[in-house]
């Protein structure tokens, strides 16, 4: 679908680039191929030492080239926001792509609903682009759900930056990307937007692409885990400051936060046991303590999301305990005790038996979410509580 010529609002595509000249042309071309007229492309060269400037100038007036001394990805995006003039902003990393028609679909989604400030769409991983312009797919993607995205942001990030389109006025309210972060800066940004009441909404009509390669930021696993730990701490602090967040889904948010802490703790345990213990402590002190106090008082919430994160938390508590983090075993016991109070099944069998009913009752739940929940139920619960 193309809606070329119908874009009354201007969209700014902000492309930060540091020594990614070899990828930059593909990113820019994916924007030009959208066929939209009222689009501004802002390339921020973050002190590159390769041919980034030459590739940028190759496109002439079609792009706006901004150079700065090397200051990092967040600073480059912030510089791009200051240079941009659009009513909507999209952050496209230089090694990623927009899918055909993605920009028009995302914009139409936001224009159709003035109450929606941030749209997020599907994405796929890819390895490269062939000489004929064909995208070479890679296996995998981040799991993106259709509902309760504010609760999901309490767990981990939900999509790559180019999957989001945000209204400029809301971006100004959220503020800059945090220049102190060398990873997870996008998770921090979208979580702060959700705290302000601008949680992303799922747009199933658009598709973007996230490149997998050895030099990408996400390929640096130790740095990624260290920043995941930092983000869990920030989310926990925010949940403490905002006792009504996520609105109408507090239980889901607390369970998601607990599950995220336990997952990262289990991953950190082999190399950073002390940091892993701190995360497990936070999972119990922030997440479970409130859940134990408010169980039975949470009201009506999104049942599938609550069950999903309960099972995830139980699974990751078991993984952390097996990694040698003793407090995780007590968290697994607490989660098991909470099952009845939260209206959760005490066994995988009960959960699997209830799946068809939950699926019918959860109008916004994706089939992928149901599939994930089924896998978690059948694979994880027994191992997580074995020996408790």
Pair 96, 76 in one domain: yes
Residue 154 lies in a domain: yes
Q: b/e map of 198-217 (b: 16 or more CB within 10 Å)?
A: bbbbbbebbbbbbbbeeeee
Higher pLDDT: 145 or 340? It is 145
Pair 59, 198 in one domain: yes
DSSP 334: H
Whether the pLDDT of residue 375 is over 60: the answer is no
Pair 367, 289 in one domain: yes
Pair 209, 262 in one domain: no
Pair 49, 37 in one domain: yes
Residue 78 lies in a domain: yes
d(CA 353, CA 271): 39
Higher pLDDT: 30 or 374? It is 30
Mean pLDDT, range 122-127, rounded to an integer: 92
Q: How many other β-carbons are positioned within 10 Å of the β-carbon of residue 133?
A: 10
DSSP 87: S
Pair 265, 172 in one domain: no
* pTM of full prediction above 0.85: yes
**CA 233 from centre of chain:** 16
Least confident piece of the model among 7-16, 41-50, 51-60: 7-16
**Could you check whether the bond before residue 58 is cis, i.e. omega within 30 degrees of 0?**
no
Q: How many other β-carbons are positioned within 10 Å of the β-carbon of residue 196?
A: 12
pLDDT at residue 301 in the model: 45
Whether the pLDDT of residue 361 is over 50: the answer is no
pLDDT at residue 24 in the model: 98
Least confident piece of the model among 57-61, 286-290, 376-380: 376-380
Residues 137-160 pLDDT 10s:
888 777 778 889 999 999 999 999
Whether the pLDDT of residue 349 is over 60: the answer is no
Task: State the average pLDDT for the chain.
Answer: 85
**Could you check whether the bond before residue 246 is cis, i.e. omega within 30 degrees of 0?**
yes
d(CA 375, CA 365): 16
Pair 265, 214 in one domain: no
Residue 2 lies in a domain: no
- The H or E element that residue 105 is part of is helix 102-111
Residue 5 lies in a domain: no
CA dihedral sign of residues 337, 342, 346, 348: negative
Mean pLDDT, range 244-273, rounded to an integer: 93
Higher pLDDT: 371 or 283? It is 283
Pair 365, 242 in one domain: yes
Pair 108, 135 in one domain: yes
- The H or E element that residue 4 is part of is none
Per cent of the chain over pLDDT 90 is 61
Pair 265, 159 in one domain: no
Residues 62-93 pLDDT 10s:
999 999 999 999 999 999 999 999 999 999 99
230-141-205 Cα angle (round to 5): 110
Confidence of residue 135 (pLDDT cuts 50, 70, 90): confident
Whether the pLDDT of residue 3 is over 70: the answer is no
Q: Are 55 and 69 in contact (CB under 8 A)?
A: no
Confidence of residue 18 (pLDDT cuts 50, 70, 90): very high
Pair 47, 165 in one domain: yes
CA dihedral sign of residues 152, 155, 161, 167: positive
Distance of CA 262 to CAs 237, 281, 363, 384, Å? 16, 10, 29, 12
**Paired sense of beta strands 39-46 and 118-129, if any:** unpaired
Q: Among 94, 71, 76, which residue's Cα sits nearest to residue 19?
A: 94
From 190, 219, 248, give the residue that closes a domain. Answer: 219
**Paired sense of beta strands 88-91 and 97-98, if any:** unpaired
Confidence of residue 61 (pLDDT cuts 50, 70, 90): very high
Per the structure, the count of domains in the chain is 2
Residues 109-119 pLDDT 10s:
999 999 999 99
Whether the pLDDT of residue 307 is over 50: the answer is yes
d(CA 46, CA 177): 15
pLDDT at residue 198 in the model: 98
Confidence of residue 297 (pLDDT cuts 50, 70, 90): low
Q: Among 177, 178, 125, 184, which residue's Cα sits nearest to residue 155?
A: 184
Pair 245, 371 in one domain: yes
Q: Where are the alpha helices (DSSP H) in 46-86?
A: 52-57, 73-83
From 167, 187, 219, give the residue that closes a domain. Answer: 219
From 219, 244, 279, give the residue that closes a domain. Answer: 219
DSSP 132: T
CA atoms within 13 A on the CB side of 240: 13
d(CA 174, CA 81): 12
pLDDT at residue 221 in the model: 84
**Domain CATH number, residue 202:** 3.90.550.10
Domain that holds residue 368: 221-385
């Amino acid at each position: 679908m193309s809606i070329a010529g119908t874009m009354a609002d201007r969209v700014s595509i902000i492309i930060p680039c540091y020594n990614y000249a070899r990828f930059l042309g593909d990113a820019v071309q994916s924007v030009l191929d959208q066929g939209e007229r009222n689009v501004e492309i802002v390339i921020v060269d973050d002190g590159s030492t390769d041919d980034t400037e030459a590739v940028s100038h190759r496109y002439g007036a079609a792009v706006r080239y901004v150079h700065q001394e090397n200051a990092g990805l967040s600073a480059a995006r912030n510089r791009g926001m200051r240079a941009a003039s659009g009513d909507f902003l999209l952050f496209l990393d230089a090694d990623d792509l927009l899918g055909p028609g993605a920009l028009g679909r995302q914009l139409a989604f936001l224009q159709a609903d003035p109450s929606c400030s941030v749209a997020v769409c599907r994405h796929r991983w890819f390895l490269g682009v062939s000489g004929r312009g064909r995208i070479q797919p890679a296996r995998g993607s981040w799991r993106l759900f259709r509902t309760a995205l504010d609760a999901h942001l309490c767990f981990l990030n939900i999509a790559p930056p180019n999957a989001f389109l945000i209204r400029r006025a809301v971006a100004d309210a959220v503020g800059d990307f945090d220049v102190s972060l060398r990873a997870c800066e996008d998770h921090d940004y979208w979580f702060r937007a959700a705290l302000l009441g601008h949680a992303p909404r799922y747009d199933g009509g658009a598709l973007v692409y996230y490149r997998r390669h050895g030099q990408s930021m996400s390929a640096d696993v130790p740095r990624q885990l260290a920043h995941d730990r930092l983000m869990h701490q920030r989310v926990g602090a925010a949940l403490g400051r905002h006792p009504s967040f996520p609105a109408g889904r507090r239980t889901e948010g607390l369970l998601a936060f607990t599950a995220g802490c336990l997952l990262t703790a289990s991953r950190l345990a082999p190399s950073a046991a002390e940091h892993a213990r701190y995360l497990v402590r936070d999972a119990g002190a922030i997440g479970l303590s409130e859940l134990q106090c408010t169980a039975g008082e949470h009201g009506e919430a999104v049942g599938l999301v609550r069950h999903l994160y309960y099972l995830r938390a139980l699974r990751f508590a078991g993984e952390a305990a097996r990694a040698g983090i003793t407090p995780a075993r007590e968290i697994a016991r607490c989660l098991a005790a909470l099952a009845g109070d939260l209206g959760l099944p005490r066994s995988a069998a009960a959960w699997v038996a209830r799946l068809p009913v939950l699926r019918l009752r959860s109008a916004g739940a994706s089939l992928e979410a149901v599939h994930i929940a089924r896998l978690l139920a059948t694979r994880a619960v027994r191992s997580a509580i074995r020996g408790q």
